[in-house]
Amino acid sequence: MTDRTDYPERLFLPPEAFDGFSKYLNIYGQDHVCDGEPYAEFALVDRVPSKSNKGNCEEWLWDFVTESNLIEGIDRTPTAAEMAAHIKLITAREISIHSLSQFVHTVQPGSFLREDLGMNVQVGDHKPIIGGPVVVVVLNELLHKLWKISAFEAYCRYETLHPFMDGNGRSGRALWLGMMVHRFGHHPSSFLREFHYQALSAHDSQPPKS
């Protein structure tokens, strides 16, 4: 079997990685082979847990989405569409601009990739690079490096770029979650707690200032 590290541009999940989602994902096709690696195709079932009924949803994912919304000041139960968007992104065969755009269009309708000139944003005192084709280039470069950098660094670079007009916080955290699941088999229920320790670790790894 081909070594997955031969494909650094792809966050790749073999079929067994989806076992935890089997309660609310349906396998609708047989295993296929892509670049020497087997994978399974999945479709979301119609009844994705919503509102107060979590159904068969994994507790950690429900808690993660709830917290991610709260960070944006969205104090309500995650919707079925939001849960489906997270499931679809973190179980995608690869994390790409297309899959991120689909996610953003679901959680923040009307928000688009800043791929045209004039699509500029400012977040507090931070002014990301101006909108235009360069945003697509930089985002692609980041996604191609996901095997080589930490989830912490990927999130920081993503938010610094701010590739979409809106919805960057939730899509950035979903990207971070996808990396945690794909690369480390970890299912964090809290972004803030995990990111806190990652930030401390990143700080400790910096050379001391003279």
Mean pLDDT per 10-residue section of the chain, whose length is 210 residues? 33 46 41 38 39 56 93 92 87 87 95 97 95 97 92 96 98 94 81 87 76
Task: Give the length of the chain.
Answer: 210
Let me know if residue 210 belongs to a domain: no
Task: Report pLDDT for 11.
Answer: 36
Q: Which domain does 47 fall in, by range?
A: 4-201
Here the CATH number for the domain that contains residue 144 is 1.10.3290
Q: Tell me, what DSSP letter sits at residue 79?
A: P
Q: Which of 170, 147, 144 is nearest to 159 (CA)?
A: 170
Let me know if residue 209 belongs to a domain: no
> How many domains would you assign to the chain?
1
> Please, what is the angle between helix 133-144 and helix 151-161, to 10°?
180
- Count Cα neighbours of 176 within 13 Å in the Cβ-side half-sphere: 27
pLDDT tens digit sequence for 161-180? 999 999 999 999 999 998 88
